[in-house]
Structure 1
Amino acid sequence: MNESKNALSTLDPQAPLVLDVHELGRRPGSQRVLTLSVPAPAGLGTEVLGVLEGSTLELQVRLEAVVEGVLASGVVQAELVGECVRCLEPIERNTSVEFQELYAYPDSDVEDDEASRLEGDLLDLEGTVRDAVILSLPFQPLCRDDCPGLCVRCGARLADEPEHRHEAEIDPRWSALARFLADEGSTEVEAPNKKSPDPSSNDRRDEGAGSSGDRT
């Protein structure tokens, strides 16, 4: 009977994350606990962080029969690989993610958008595990919380060079003014070398001219 029911399923019973729940029957409260070590499927992550396809997933799974179907819950552990979005350094870290999903019986009244469906006596954990892992990932993964990133001018990793500095650059829009000010500075430096007229000498000349007039 079990084989005939699964013959109608589109799921591959040999797939690593496809589980047979025949032993639970339809007895609410009956349970089964599984420990699995399976290869990770493709697409288990984002462009910058995720689980490598084929790497090992460790799962602790509890299957429990309920009125509407089978409730699958548990924890998946895996190694994440990616790169820091600030400094582009490689990231490798372990993650542990909880998941829970109701797999409704084919004839259950549960709405389609509320639960996955059993196919015969088979359920597929792949989609549930994928959703749980991806939703747990940071949107912008960092090698460390205070990563300073890269120098915007030369690309140096600032975490490796805490004292990294560049001389301040002048905004190109102000370069003409900078040249003008530099020229003005040069002129002011040269100005003291030129002798300025002595006002007192003019006064003496005026007095001399007055005296000559009186004698005349």
Structure 2
Amino acid sequence: MPRTLVPDMSTQRIPGSRPARPDDNPWVVSTRELARRPGTQRTVTRTVPAPSGDEAIGLVGVISVPDGSDVELDVSLESVTEGVYVSGTAAARLEGECSRCLDPLSDDVVVGFGELFAYPDSVTEETTDADEIPRLVDERVDLLQTVRDALVTDLPMAPLCTQDCPGLCEGCGERWADLAPDHGHERLDPRWAALRERLPSTE
């Protein structure tokens, strides 16, 4: 069956009507225009603010998308028999700190995603748990969890400013990259530490 493309009506104006208003939650996209016609598609491109708190995207305290920063969404929604298949990309700016030297770091990332949102009362909805496959609610899909899952899966658990970052000196906590090649610290056997404190200083 040939696919029918439906334009994003959230940015179009119908003569004699008020401008269409986007949903209060910019991460939520309407699927009403698809009308449960398999093969019908809708494309959506929008910029949304990154959430904060418990909904933050990334590994908070390690590397994540800063609160309120722009996330660029380029999404295709296709009506299928059991629901709406949502696919596309999300582009965002990441900020965090190097796991070795603790210096701040930043990076741009683009992740792809694809997920089926099941129709209410569909076979898929009846035979799967909600945490397995998301559902359409009031003919809308919420993209936040889908994008968050795709991005977190793509993130390094221990981000580095450079692959060969030497980290910090265990003795003084300074960055090895800033220290002289002959930098070092005297290591005294702890068994002799008490005796050394009793001996008179030779300095």
CA distance in 1, matches of 2:109, 2:67: 15
Which residue of structure 2 aligns with residue 26 of structure 1? 36
Q: Are the equivalent residues in 2 in contact too, given 1:45–1:134 (CA < 8 A)? A: yes
CA distance in 1, matches of 2:39, 2:51: 31
The alpha carbon displacement at 1:166 in A equals: 1.3
Q: Percent identity?
A: 50
CA distance 1:164–1:140, shift in 2 (3 Å):
farther
Tell me how large the CA RMSD over aligned residues is: 1.9
2:23 matched to 1:13? Answer: yes
* Deviates most, 147-156 or 160-169: 160-169
Which of the residues 116, 122, 135 maps onto 1:108? Answer: 122
The structure with more radius of gyration:
1
CA distance 1:162–1:104, shift in 2 (3 Å):
farther
Aligned AA (1:116): P
Q: Deviations over 1:25-55 (max 9, x none)?
A: 1111111111111111121111211001100
Which of the residues 118, 123, 128 maps onto 2:141? Answer: 123
Q: Deviations over 1:88-115 (max 9, x none)?
A: 1001110111111110001111112431
CA distance in 1, matches of 2:70, 2:96: 16
Q: Deviations over 1:55-110 (max 9, x none)?
A: 00011101011111001111100000110111010011101111111100011111
Q: Are the equivalent residues in 2 in contact too, given 1:13–1:122 (CA < 8 A)? A: no
Which residue of structure 1 aligns with residue 11 of structure 2? none
The alpha carbon displacement at 1:167 in A equals: 4.4
* Unmatched 5+ stretches in structure 1: 1-11, 179-216
Name the structure where helix makes up a greater proportion of residues. Answer: 1
CA distance 1:169–1:163, shift in 2 (3 Å):
same
Name the structure where strand makes up a greater proportion of residues. Answer: 2
How many residue pairs match? The answer is 167
CA distance in 2, matches of 1:53, 1:14: 18
Correspondence 1:30-179 to 2 at 5 A: 30-42=40-52, 43-46=56-59, 47-110=61-124, 111-112=128-129, 113-161=131-179, 163-173=181-191
* Unmatched 5+ stretches in structure 2: 1-21, 197-203
User: Per the alignment, in what secondary structure is the counterpart of residue 127 of structure 1?
Assistant: helix
CA distance in 2, matches of 1:167, 1:95: 40
CA distance in 2, matches of 1:168, 1:153: 9
CA distance 1:160–1:73, shift in 2 (3 Å):
same
User: Per the alignment, in what secondary structure is the counterpart of residue 174 of structure 2?
Assistant: coil
The alpha carbon displacement at 1:161 in A equals: 2.7
Spell out structure 1 runs of 4+ moving beyond 3 A.
Answer: 174-178
User: Per the alignment, in what secondary structure is the counterpart of residue 72 of structure 1?
Assistant: strand
CA distance in 2, matches of 1:175, 1:127: 56
